[in-house]
Amino acid sequence: MESVTIKDIAKRCNVAVSTVSRAINNHPDIKEETRRKIMQVIEENNYIPNNSAQNLKKSDSKTIGVIVKGVDNPLFAKVRSTLAESIARYGYDYYFQYIGISDNEIMEALRLAKEKRLRGIIFLGGNYNRTQEELEEIPVPFVMSTVTIDETVSKSLYSSVSVDSYKESYRMVDYLCSKGYKKIVLLAGSKGDESVGGLRLKGYRDALKANHISIDEKRICFSQDWAEDVFSMANGYRMTKKLMESGVDFDCVYAIADSIAIGACKALLENGKKIPQECGVAGFDGLDETLYYHPSITTIRQPMEKIAEETVRILFSRLHKGTKNRHRVFPCELIERESTMK
């Protein structure tokens, strides 16, 4: 349990701790010979500097914190490397922190900012409505990536990179209408969802209106409130089963997330419905799964790589050039696949 410290190394080398510190941190004024010897002793004794102590002492750190909300979001898993590489390209270190869906990301940010002396923070995911007051506490520049922030919060307080859920949802439904679908069911999120779920719902409503299709509230399926797994295949399956049992007439199912769409497909196919001949299906997000499903599923692809890169770019532009906070919205790509190609 006794771990070896910088003092032990110093003693074993017959030098002062400050010399060891210099060796570790590649300081210029140290003889190459002593440096090598110290590094060798460090190696032999498996010495690892205590990062807590380092951070406690350091004033300047050159590290960016990335707070990811939702380990299980497959959309984020792929972004990790892109973010890491982009940050490294600026010569900064990064520190990823994955937190649970119900954890408070702001608290986590404050904690990390102190602990690791962060220069900037990137938030990935999490749609909770944070107040202006909370956001103001964060002492370093930060970018909300694919996070929806309440409209009442001043835009000058933070940067953001995201997609326009409303517009893209509108586009998808408009497309479905153009394909001749008249009775489009929406598999929505929870009833009170003011975030992406709500926005995509609004896009659905407005697009139908624009296409002169009257909205049948029976065709809007909300997830059960108790369902913690709203964005899951299981939920899509459940909702679609229930829909079919209810006897509501429909010719297309549009889910606000790909995972939900996959569950819906299963329920439809299981009941002998042919996709797309008897019922079209569309999702949202651009998960790989939609491409490999059979039939492949039409979706709206969020350009996650671009989003990640732009997130880092904005952060460093703010850090280095002192630019103001910016808000960038990326267009998505509507990918037409078999599930809607009658």
Partner DNA sequence: TTGTACGCGTTATCAT
Partner DNA sequence: ATGATAACGCGTACAA
Burial (CB < 10 A; 0-12, 13-18, 19+), residue 159, is buried
Q: Is 137 in the site for its own copies (CB under 8 A)?
A: yes
The interface region with DNA, picked from 3-11, 206-214, 261-269, 330-338 by CB under 7 A, is: 3-11
Q: Comparing C-alpha atoms, which of 182, 172, 252, 180 is closest to residue 207?
A: 172
- Residues 148 and 144: their CA atoms lie apart, in Å, by 8
Segment contacting its own copies by CB under 8 A, of 22-30, 92-100, 186-194, 308-316: 92-100
**Residue 92 touches its own copies, criterion: CB under 8 A:** no
Q: Which one of residues 43, 292, 320, 322 is an interface residue with its own copies (CB under 8 A)? A: 292
Closest CA to 101 of 123, 69, 144: 69
Binding of its own copies by 50 (CB under 8 A): yes
| Cα–Cα distance measured from residue 286 to residue 92, given in angstroms and rounded to the nearest whole number | 30
- CA dist 331 and 169 (Å) reads 12
Q: Taking CB under 7 A as the rule, does residue 49 contact DNA?
A: yes
Region of 52-60, 95-103, 252-260, 290-298 interacting with DNA (CB under 7 A): 52-60
Q: Which residue's CB is nearer to DNA, number 9 or number 267?
A: 9
Instruction: Round to whole Å and give the CA distance between 243 and 250.
Output: 9
In the complex, least distance from residue 178 CB atom to its own copies, rounded to whole angstroms? 26
Q: Of these partners, DNA, its own copies, none, which one is at the site of residue 306 (CB under 5 to 8 Å by kind)?
A: none
For residues 251 and 282, give the distance between their C-alpha atoms in angstroms, rounded to a whole number: 12
- Other CB atoms within a 10 A radius of the CB of residue 264 amount to 32
Dihedral angle at the C-alpha atoms of 283, 288, 293, 297, nearest 10 degrees? 30
Per CB under 7 A, residues contacting DNA are: 3, 5-7, 14-22, 24-25, 28-31, 33-35, 47, 49-50, 53-54, 56-60
Contact residues toward its own copies (CB under 8 A) are: 1, 3, 46, 48, 50-53, 55-56, 71-72, 74, 76-78, 80-81, 84, 96, 98, 100, 107, 110-111, 113-115, 137, 139-140, 232-234, 237, 262-263, 265-266, 269-270, 288-289, 291-294, 296
